[in-house]
Structure 1
Amino acid sequence: MTHSVHRRAVAVTALALAGLLAAVVPTAAATDTAAAPGAAPSPAALAAPDIPLANVRAHLTDLQSIATANGGNRAHGRAGYKASVDHVKAKLDAAGFTTTVQQFTSSGATGYNLIADWPGGDANRILMAGAHLDSVSSGPGINDNGSGSAGVLETALAVSRAQLQPDKHLRFAWWGAEELGLVGSRYYVNNLAATDRSKITGYLNFDMIGSPNPGYFVYDDDPAIEKTFKDYFAGLGVPTEIETEGDGRSDHASFKNVGIPVGGLFTGASRTKSTAQAQKWGGTAGQAFDRCYHSSCDTTSNISDTALDRNSDAIAHAVWTLSAGTTVPPDGDVYENAADVSVPDNGAAVTSSVTVSGRTGNAPSALQVGVDIKHTWRGDLVIDLVAPDGTAYRLKNSSGSDSADNVITTYTVNASSEAANGTWRLRVQDVAAQDTGYIDSWKLTF
């Protein structure tokens, strides 16, 4: 997981790559393997396989060996990172994936993203799963983020073993230079045409899934993806919490910022596990989730096998589930305001209103609040939903470490105590200097 980045993002100079984005759409030959109309139900409708912990652990051992042989790390611009890319690519090529190595330049060094497409599925509906493959320069990065990289790799190999033919097209990714500010994933997203971005139905991110003193955190971004993960852990009897420590600091932010639905899992980094968290998850209260975060001791001994096993299985469950059919919640009634409202820099709060009428009773317990705010530093923003009676529901707090652009997401609010009918307002305030923006649109879905 990356450090919080500076107010002004790292400049990235792209290398010219002729035909690089061909990986966006599978080749004709690959598409021919998709199930024909009227064929038997897709295997994606079946339960995902158990992901063998021993296999995931073996990938971590490989990454540790690569780091050890290359100066103790797998950082951007270092030999250990390129060796990691080559190693993962070889396994995917042997398993029947179509792989593409995408190059970019950051901090004067060449970086690499690895993209792997599984043949078949609807090329107009793409489900992606990814993890950053680079480490910091101070250590081998086995939890951060060998763990996510290994879990995604083994899930991709399980897709191959099962010869899965999902309804959606599957794409897996391993990102470079995440530790320098999400550079690789931003490069990938920024070089997708708008039509290709619109084909991605969801991006699942896995950054640190084996912390030695683990928590079980789920991203609260896209409701359907969030529910998929929560339901899985509920089935194991494992309680979850909403992920807040790394919000906006890993590669899902690159996708979220352009309106692509995102979700993911996280087991904690440098924050301290509370007594309440230790009571429900085990482990040690008063100690960091990962005491070796961004340190030389982030080795193969810095892993909880239980957390790694559970989260790897959860990755497979999400890939199998979300690649089958539409997997989107049914449409409700939508009330939207698309008029732009400027948000003054370090100024007073502004509001945008929608009026709901013709409904009976109260608002739902899972009221969906879709927000599209264009802003050059979203960490400056405080956002509230204000009910007709004046009750405010906090959607987003300001955060000095949240350096990304824009707030394009859907929040879920328990508004069951509020009358549905009336004027609802989105209230937005910029509480710091230097950056500006505006409310582009927002909507309520009942």
Structure 2
Amino acid sequence: MNLSVPRRVTAAAALAALALGGLAGTSASAAPAGGAGATAAPDISLANVKQHLTSLQSIATSNGGNRAHGRAGYKASIDFVKAKLDAAGYTTTLQTFTSSGATGYNLIADWPGGDPNQVLMAGSHLDSVAAGAGINDNGSGSAAVLETALTVSRTGYQPSKHLRFAWWGAEELGLVGSKYYVNNLPTTERAKLKGYLNFDMIGSPNPGYFVYDDDPTIEQTFKSYFAGLGVPTEIETEGDGRSDHAPFKNVGVPVGGLFSGADYVKTAAQAQKWGGTSGQAFDRCYHSSCDTTANINDTALDRNSDAVAHAVWTLSAGSTTPPTGKVFENTADVAVPDNGAAVTSSVTVTGVTGNAPANLAVGVDIVHTYRGDLIVDLIAPDGSVYSLSNRSGGSADNIVQTYTVDASTEVANGVWKLRVQDKAAADTGYVNGFKLTFP
């Protein structure tokens, strides 16, 4: 990860990306791909990902201890990845550019098939700094993306969208490779990009679980995945705008990604949430010679690698034609105070004729450490209350469930609310998402 570029892309830019469409749509957007008919992503082999890291370490060791731009270790890294993708049936393109007086390389790999006018990309930077082998930064992201691409080939996956994978050069010099790719992509080709997923440092030894706060649909895809594992997430701020998603975001492509932390210090609250050591950096070997294969947390690498595949499968699947139903969704986090007042998450339903259906689907995604503390209700626009969960589920955590409500006596259009109240002490959480699906 490069930390020399401006700290944060503005909220206005995110809204601009949303306004341009992409994966997110409007408040009445089509349901994210990955619902009915979607194929679940296979498990990504941790052993295979770690073997890729071992190969990158060997390349660095044989080439002066690093894989930096303009050095032999970087070219050998690109050649290693390209050979595996070529053997797996990908169409690969080696894109060259010049930076700091040296030739740089981007590797682009296209999986045959899928709608060429709807392209989902996943990428990572492959270069290290000159100080070390760069196994967490960013061998980890590069290896996970590589193994996901190889798993696509191994399983013969044929998604509706066209899949494209990328490994960027000279990220550590200021996102040079990804900027070059985006800047040289014709406007007509940019318009075909329906999402770019970025993975930069996902195996930090004292890890956190951070999700990019960018495109709402991509963000929710990752957050829901980790909620299903019972792993809380936080919004990524340490390196926001400082990795290869930024050039895509700046031209209106919907972006998202994962991060496990660099040289910021883990707080006591984060250590309680995720384990590890408070008062210590997420990665003490960031940009240092000790960023070797010993500098990886296997659990974080495994979880994040599976999340990469989950996002690729989920966001590339599904019909490319608009569904007949409408989904109204709110993905903004709402904190639920411990043993406190009720909170709400709201969606505004518009453009639906007549009353709500007798089979209104109410999607609830609540991250909480003790679901038995929670009372969850659906509030109709006229104030009618529909009970969804009343302190049920005992000591289990999280409520990630779709409820069916007979709302046929309610006018469909208006503000619907999900109301959540924690009625006992000692456990905390937040509303991760709320949506209504009208058939």
Which category of TM-score, normalised to the shorter sequence, fits these structures?
0.5 to 0.7
CA distance in 1, matches of 2:58, 2:235: 34
Note if contact 2:6-2:242 (Cα within 8 Å) is conserved in structure 1: no
Cα offset, 1:5, TM superposition? 3.4
User: What is the match of residue 214 of structure 1?
Assistant: 207
Tell me which amino acid in the other structure corresponds to 2:60: A
User: What is the match of residue 278 of structure 1?
Assistant: 271
Tell me which amino acid in the other structure corresponds to 1:236: L
Note if contact 1:208-1:268 (Cα within 8 Å) is conserved in structure 2: yes
User: How is 1:337-376 mapped onto 2 (pairs within 5 angstroms)?
Assistant: 365=346
Between the two proteins, the alignment pairs up a number of residues equal to: 307
User: What is the match of residue 165 of structure 1?
Assistant: 158
Deviation per CA, 1:263-307, whole angstroms, max 9, x where unpaired? 000000000000000001000000000000000000000000000
CA distance in 2, matches of 1:221, 1:42: 21
User: How is 1:399-414 mapped onto 2 (pairs within 5 angstroms)?
Assistant: none
CA distance in 2, matches of 1:222, 1:4: 24
User: How is 1:139-158 mapped onto 2 (pairs within 5 angstroms)?
Assistant: 139-158=132-151
CA distance in 1, matches of 2:237, 2:328: 28
CA distance in 2, matches of 1:214, 1:265: 12
Note if contact 1:74-1:134 (Cα within 8 Å) is conserved in structure 2: yes
User: What is the match of residue 73 of structure 2?
Assistant: 80
CA distance in 2, matches of 1:139, 1:61: 14
Note if contact 2:35-2:318 (Cα within 8 Å) is conserved in structure 1: no
Which structure is richer in relative contact order (CA contacts within 8 A, separation 6 or more)?
2
User: What is the match of residue 351 of structure 2?
Assistant: none
Note if contact 2:236-2:259 (Cα within 8 Å) is conserved in structure 1: yes
User: What is the match of residue 406 of structure 1?
Assistant: none
Note if contact 1:42-1:167 (Cα within 8 Å) is conserved in structure 2: no
State whether structure 2 residue 107 is matched by structure 1 residue 100.
no
CA distance in 2, matches of 1:171, 1:271: 32
User: What is the match of residue 224 of structure 2?
Assistant: 231
Note if contact 1:208-1:267 (Cα within 8 Å) is conserved in structure 2: yes
State whether structure 2 residue 234 is matched by structure 1 residue 241.
yes
User: What is the match of residue 123 of structure 2?
Assistant: 130
User: What is the match of residue 248 of structure 2?
Assistant: 255
User: What is the match of residue 15 of structure 2?
Assistant: none
Tell me which amino acid in the other structure corresponds to 2:224: D
**1:71–1:168: structure 2 CA closer, same or farther, 3 Å change rule?**
same
Tell me which amino acid in the other structure corresponds to 1:112: Y
Q: Please identify runs of 4+ aligned residues in structure 1 that moved more than 2 A.
A: 41-44, 325-333, 363-367
User: How is 1:251-400 mapped onto 2 (pairs within 5 angstroms)?
Assistant: 251-325=244-318, 365=346
1:175 paired residue among 140, 145, 168? 168
Tell me which amino acid in the other structure corresponds to 2:113: G
Deviation per CA, 1:92-125, whole angstroms, max 9, x where unpaired? 0000000000000011000000000000000000
CA distance in 1, matches of 2:306, 2:265: 26
For structure 1, the residue ranges without an aligned partner over 5 or more in a row are 8-40, 334-362, 368-418, 421-446
CA distance in 2, matches of 1:208, 1:253: 16
Q: 1:45 aligns to what SS in structure 2?
A: coil
Note if contact 1:220-1:243 (Cα within 8 Å) is conserved in structure 2: yes
User: What is the match of residue 5 of structure 2?
Assistant: 5
**1:6–1:273: structure 2 CA closer, same or farther, 3 Å change rule?**
closer
Identity %: 79
Q: 2:197 aligns to what SS in structure 1?
A: strand
User: What is the match of residue 356 of structure 2?
Assistant: none
CA distance in 1, matches of 2:317, 2:221: 12
Note if contact 2:210-2:261 (Cα within 8 Å) is conserved in structure 1: yes
User: What is the match of residue 388 of structure 2?
Assistant: none
Cα offset, 1:3, TM superposition? 2.5
Cα offset, 1:46, TM superposition? 1.3
Cα offset, 1:45, TM superposition? 1.4
Q: 2:179 aligns to what SS in structure 1?
A: helix
CA distance in 2, matches of 1:97, 1:305: 28
1:197 paired residue among 190, 200, 203? 190
State whether structure 2 residue 73 is matched by structure 1 residue 67.
no
CA distance in 1, matches of 2:63, 2:175: 23
CA distance in 1, matches of 2:304, 2:113: 26
CA distance in 2, matches of 1:161, 1:183: 32
CA distance in 2, matches of 1:231, 1:80: 38
CA distance in 1, matches of 2:6, 2:243: 15
**1:162–1:170: structure 2 CA closer, same or farther, 3 Å change rule?**
same
Note if contact 1:76-1:135 (Cα within 8 Å) is conserved in structure 2: yes
Cα offset, 1:229, TM superposition? 0.3
Q: 2:65 aligns to what SS in structure 1?
A: coil
CA distance in 2, matches of 1:281, 1:180: 32
Note if contact 1:113-1:184 (Cα within 8 Å) is conserved in structure 2: yes
Tell me which amino acid in the other structure corresponds to 1:191: N
CA distance in 1, matches of 2:245, 2:346: 27
CA distance in 1, matches of 2:303, 2:285: 21
Cα offset, 1:365, TM superposition? 3.8
Q: 2:5 aligns to what SS in structure 1?
A: coil
Tell me which amino acid in the other structure corresponds to 1:281: W
Tell me which amino acid in the other structure corresponds to 1:81: Y
Cα offset, 1:325, TM superposition? 2.3
For structure 2, the residue ranges without an aligned partner over 5 or more in a row are 8-33, 330-343, 349-413, 416-439
Note if contact 2:328-2:347 (Cα within 8 Å) is conserved in structure 1: no
Note if contact 2:3-2:239 (Cα within 8 Å) is conserved in structure 1: no
CA distance in 2, matches of 1:143, 1:100: 25
**1:364–1:307: structure 2 CA closer, same or farther, 3 Å change rule?**
closer
Deviation per CA, 1:216-235, whole angstroms, max 9, x where unpaired? 00001000000000010000
